[in-house]
Amino acid sequence: MARAIERRLWVLNRLDQSPPHHVGRWPEGPVGSRILQVAGFEVVQVAAAAALRPGGDWVVPCQLDLALCLALGTSPLDVMLGTFPLVCLVEDLASALPYAEHANASPAARAEGYGLAAETIDGGDFEAALAAFQRAVARAQAKGGPTLIHAVLSRDKEDG
C-alpha cells in the first residue's frame, strides 16, 4: 500500500506544473509527501508498527514514515488529504523577553525555508485568529500549499 501511494503521489507531483520547491534538499511536509524517495524503508517501519499498540503508543512520524503510519492504521485517504490541506498551529506563550528580541526565533520567521506560508497573530484576538485561519484554510483548499500560523499568547498580568 505504501508503494502504491508513493507512486500516486509521484504522478500527482509530475502533473503539477510548478517547479519543485525542494530541489537540492529533502522536501519538508506531511507523511507521504517525499515522492518515491524512501522505497525500501517499508520493512523496518512495518516491523516497528507490529511491536507497537495502535491507539496506545505514541508515534511522531516524519515525512519518510508512510509505511509505519499505514501499518498503525492511518487510512490512505488521510495520507492523501494530509499531503494537501495542511494548516499548522503553533501556540507560543510569550516569554519574559520583549517579542521583538525573540522574533528571529519565531516559527513564522523560519517557515519560508520549509516551503510554508506563515503569519504571526495575537492568539488572544479572536477576529485576527479567525481571519488567519480562514485565509489558511482557503489556501489549502485551493491547493495553494501549507500554512503555519504562529499564535503569540500572553499571560494575564493578574495570573502572575
Q: Give every CB contact of residue 45 below 8 A, 6+ residues apart in sequence.
A: 2, 65, 66, 67, 68, 71
What pLDDT sits at residue 133?
Answer: 96
**CB-CB contact of 23 with 31 (8 Å):** no
| Strand bridging mode 117-122 / 147-153 | parallel
Interatomic CA distance for residues 138 and 126, integer angstroms:
18
What pLDDT sits at residue 24?
Answer: 34
Q: Which three cell numbers stand for residue 41?
A: 524503508
Enter the pTM of the model.
0.50
What is the tens place of the pLDDT at every residue in 66-120?
A: 899 999 999 888 887 776 678 889 898 865 455 555 555 678 888 877 667 999 9
What pLDDT sits at residue 31?
Answer: 57
What pLDDT sits at residue 16?
Answer: 56
Segment 3-24 shows an average pLDDT of 62
What is the tens place of the pLDDT at every residue in 20-55?
A: 443 333 344 555 555 555 567 888 999 999 999 988
